[in-house]
C-alpha cells in the first residue's frame, strides 16, 4: 500500500534538512507534498522542494489557483500523516492555541490525520515556559514528537533545540505509518515508571524506576501494530510514536487510568508502584522539630495487577513485572500465583537496572521459567512482544 505525508516546512535554518528528508522518503516509496511557510521560503526554495518531491509546493492560503486545484481542507487530509519540520515555536504555539492565520496553521487545525512535529529553535526558546506549556498541551492532544536533540546551535549556543536528523524523523514517520504487524487489531495497555505518593506539597514517597523498560515495551507493541496506551508515572522520557500517553502521579491515579483503558487483549504492567502511601498528606510543608522526625502512618495502595486479574474486564494476557533484589526467580514464581496473572517478568534490581540501558530478566509462566541473557532494554521489549504475539496467535 502506498503511503504519503504532508510536509509543513517552518522557518528555521534546519529547513535545509527537509530536502534530505524528502529524498529519503522517496527512496522508501513514501510520497510527499509540501506546504512551505513564508519564513521557511527564506531558507529553502519552492523549486528545490518541488524538484525533490515531484509535487506542487503550496505557500498561500488565499491563492485562488491553489484553492481551485486543492482546497486547504482537502490538502490537510490528503496524506496519511502530517509532518512539521522544522516545527518552530510559532507553529507549535499556533496549533496548541487553535490559531489559524496561515496555510500551515490552518492545515494543522483542519487535518484529521496524525501529526508529527520535529521541533527546532534556540535553546532558550525551547526551554521557555510558554514553549514547554505548548509542548505539554500538544502531547496531551495526541501530537507526536521527534527530537529536539542537544547540540550547538547556529547562533553559537548549546543545548536542546537542534532538529532531529533526517534519519531520525524518517524512522518516526515509518513507525507512524506502519499499518500491519503481528499485533494488528490488538489493544494493549502498558504501565511504566514510578508512582509518587505525596507526604506534603514538596515531598513524596517514590522509587528509582526510570520507566525505560516500560516505554521500550510500549514502543515495541506499537511497532508490532497494537493499539497501545501507556499509563506512565513521573519520568523524563519521550512518548513513543503511535502510543497514547496517560500521565499519572499516584498509585490510585494509575489504577483509575488503567481501568479507563479496559477492555484490552494485552496488559503489561511494568510500573514500580509504591506499595504504601501516607494515610494523610499534609497540606503544608512539614517543618523540622526539636522533637525529631514526625510520626507517619502508612496505608496500603491498591494492588493494580491483582485488581486487573480479578476484574470483569481481565485482559486475555496479563503480564506483571517483579523487581527483586534477592531470590529473584522464587519470589517472582510466588508473585505470579498470588496476583493471578499469566506471566511475570522478573529482574534483579540490586544494581543499576532501574536507571541503566540493559536488563537481564526471567520470564515466568505456568509452564516454567525461561531465563534470558542480559540485553538492551529495547531488545528485551522486542523479545517479549514476539512472545506475546506468538501466545495470542496460538490462543486464537
Each of the 396 residues of the chain gets a pLDDT tens digit; together they read 468 899 999 998 899 999 999 988 888 788 899 999 999 999 999 999 999 988 889 887 766 455 555 566 677 777 889 999 999 999 999 999 999 889 999 999 988 888 999 999 988 899 999 999 999 999 888 889 988 887 776 666 777 888 988 888 988 888 788 656 789 889 999 999 999 999 889 888 888 889 999 999 998 998 888 999 999 999 988 888 778 999 999 999 999 999 999 999 999 999 999 999 988 888 888 888 877 888 888 999 999 999 999 999 999 999 999 888 788 899 999 999 999 999 999 988 776 556 677 888 999 999 999 999 888 898 899 999 999 999 998 876
Task: Answer whether residue 266 is part of any domain.
Answer: yes
Q: What is the CATH number of the domain that holds 223?
A: 3.40.50.10300
Specify which residues 245 forms β-bridges with: 230
* One domain for residues 243 and 379: yes
Residue 165 sits in the same domain as residue 135:
yes
Residue 194 falls inside a structural domain: yes
Is 102 within 8 Å of 70 (Cβ atoms)?
A: no
Going by their DSSP bridges, the two strands 204-205 and 158-162 should be labelled as unpaired
361-365 and 368-371 strand pairing: antiparallel
Same structural domain, 232 and 169: no
Q: Which domain holds residue 52?
A: 3-177
Same domain, 154 and 270: no
Indicate which CATH number applies to the domain containing 152: 3.40.50.1950
**Cα 214 → chain centroid:** 11
Are residue 79 and residue 210 in the same domain, yes or no?
Answer: no
pLDDT at 179: 54
CA-closest candidate to residue 276, choices 346, 355, 198, 191: 198
Q: Which of 177, 195, 222 is the last residue of a domain?
A: 177
Domain count, the chain: 2
Is 118 in the same domain as 203? no
pLDDT of residue 396: 65
Q: How many helices (H) and strands (E) does the chain have?
A: 14, 22
Same domain? 235 vs 158: no
Q: What is the pLDDT of residue 65?
A: 55
Catalytic machinery residues:
155
Answer with the one of 121, 143, 177 that is the final residue of a domain: 177
- What pLDDT does 293 receive? 82
Residues 32 and 121 in one domain: yes
Distances in Å between the Cα of 122 and the Cα atoms of 7, 88, 138, 236 are: 22, 10, 19, 21
CA atoms within 13 Å, Cβ hemisphere of 234? 13
Look at residue 363 in the predicted model and tell me its pLDDT: 95
Whole-angstrom Cα distance, residue 18 to residue 153? Answer: 17
Q: What are the helix (H) ranges across 201-360?
A: 212-223, 251-261, 304-310, 328-339
Report the C-alpha gap between 229 and 263 in whole angstroms.
Answer: 12
| 34, part of any domain | yes
182 located within any domain: no
- Alpha-carbon span 41 to 5, nearest angstrom: 19
Whether residues 214 and 70 share a domain: the answer is no
- Residue 305 placed within a domain: yes
Quick check: 232 and 253 in contact, CB under 8 A?
no
0.75 exceeded by pTM: no
Bridge partners of residue 369, in order along the sequence: 364
| Residue at a domain's end among 177, 206, 222 | 177
Q: Do 229 and 343 fall into the same domain?
A: yes
SS (H, E, C) 51-118: HHHCCCEECCCCCHHHHHHCCHHHHHCCCCEEEEEEECHHHHHHHHCCCCCCHHHHHHHHCCCCEEEE
The pLDDT of residue 68 is: 52
Same domain, 245 and 386: yes
Are the CB atoms for 266 and 226 separated by under 8 Å? yes
Let me know whether 172 and 198 are in one domain. no
Amino acid at each position: 500500500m502506498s503511503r504519503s505525508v504532508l510536509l509543513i516546512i517552518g522557518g528555521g535554518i534546519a529547513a535545509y534538512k527537509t530536502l534530505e528528508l524528502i529524498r529519503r522518503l522517496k527512496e522508501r516509496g513514501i510520497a510527499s507534498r509540501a506546504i512551505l511557510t513564508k519564513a521557511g521560503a527564506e531558507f529553502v526554495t519552492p523549486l528545490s522542494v518541488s524538484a525533490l518531491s515531484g509535487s506542487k509546493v503550496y505557500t498561500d492560503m488565499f491563492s485562488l489557483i491553489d484553492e481551485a486545484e486543492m482546497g486547504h481542507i482537502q490538502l490537510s487530509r490528503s496524506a496519511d500523516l502530517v509532518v512539521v519540520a522544522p516545527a518552530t515555536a510559532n507553529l507549535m504555539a499556533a496549533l496548541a492555541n487553535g490559531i489559524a492565520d496561515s496555510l500551515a496553521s490552518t492545515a494543522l487545525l483542519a487535518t484529521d490525520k496524525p501529526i508529527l512535529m520535529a521541533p527546532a529553535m534556540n535553546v532558550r526558546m525551547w526551554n521557555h515556559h510558554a514553549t514547554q506549556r505548548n509542548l505539554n498541551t500538544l502531547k496531551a492532544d495526541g501530537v507526536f514528537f521527534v527530537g529536539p536533540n542537544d547540540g550547538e546551535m547556529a547562533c553559537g549556543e548549546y543545548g536542546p533545540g537542534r532538529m532531529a536528523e533526517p534519519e531520525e524523523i524518517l524512522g518516526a514517520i515509518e513507525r507512524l505509518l506502519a499499518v500491519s504487524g503481528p499485533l494488528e487489531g490488538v489493544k494493549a495497555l502498558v504501565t511504566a515508571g514510578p508512582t509518587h505518593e505525596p507526604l506534603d506539597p514538596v515531598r513524596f514517597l517514590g522509587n528509582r524506576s526510570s520507566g525505560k523498560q516500560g516505554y521500550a515495551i510500549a514502543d515495541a507493541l506499537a511497532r508490532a501494530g497494537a493499539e497501545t496506551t501507556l499509563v506512565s508515572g513521573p519520568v523524563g522520557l519521550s512518548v513513543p510514536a503511535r502510543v497514547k500517553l496517560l500521565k499519572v502521579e499516584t498509585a490510585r491515579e494509575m489504577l483509575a487510568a488503567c481501568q479507563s483503558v479496559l477492555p484490552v487483549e494485552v496488559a503489561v504492567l511494568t510500573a514500580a508502584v509504591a506499595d504504601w502511601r501516607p494515610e494523610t498528606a499534609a497540606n503544608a510543608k512539614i517543618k523540622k522539630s526539636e522533637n525529631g522526625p514526625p510520626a507517619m502512618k502508612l496505608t496500603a495502595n491498591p494492588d493494580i495487577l491483582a485488581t486487573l486479574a480479578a476484574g470483569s474486564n481481565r485482559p486475555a494476557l496479563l503480564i506483571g513485572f517483579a523487581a527483586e533484589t534477592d531470590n529473584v526467580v522464587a519470589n517472582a514464581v510466588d508473585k505470579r500465583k498470588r496476583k493471578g496473572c499469566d506471566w511475570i517478568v522478573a529482574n534483579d534490581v540490586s544494581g543499576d537496572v532501574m536507571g541503566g540501558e540493559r536488563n537481564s530478566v526471567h520470564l515466568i509462566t505456568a509452564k516454567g521459567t525461561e531465563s534470558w541473557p542480559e540485553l538492551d532494554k529495547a531488545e528485551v521489549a522486542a523479545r517479549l512482544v514476539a512472545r506475546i504475539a506468538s501466545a495470542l496467535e496460538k490462543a486464537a
